[in-house]
Amino acid sequence: MRAIASDPAVLMLDEPVAGMNDVESDELAQIFRDLAGRGLGLLLIEHNVGFVTRLCKHIYVLDAGRLLASGPPDQITNDPRVIEAYIGASAA
């Protein structure tokens, strides 16, 4: 990964698992965990909710450019506002 060759403090990634299968995305997730374990900050923009919830400790959800929700994965996946925004139906 050329992006980490210059030893950045933060790595910003936009849709890194787009087009990957589950095996490939799991391998990339492990690479990200290893990098984070070495102190590298990771900012991830990703629509693959399963990948994000398995990888991230804290998630920020944006809707139309505004912060909709923030918190740990279990809180985010059960938030009615997030469900409504991304599924399009009321969670109630």
CB of 14 within 8 A of CB of 48? Answer: no
Give CA 50 to chain center in angstroms: 9
Specify the residue for token string 């923030």.
Answer: 70
What are the tens digits of pLDDT across the range 33-92?
999 999 999 999 998 888 999 999 999 999 999 999 999 999 999 999 999 988 776 555
Which of the two residues, 59 and 2, has the higher pLDDT score? 59
Half-sphere exposure of 5 (CA within 13 A, CB side): 3
Q: In which element (H, E) is residue 12 found?
A: strand 10-14
Domain ranges of the chain: 9-46, 57-92
Name the region of 88 (left: φ>0; alpha: ψ -120 to 50; beta: rest). Answer: left
Q: Which of 20, 91, 9, 5 is closest to 55 using CA atoms? A: 20
pLDDT for residue 13? 94
Q: What is the pLDDT of residue 90?
A: 55
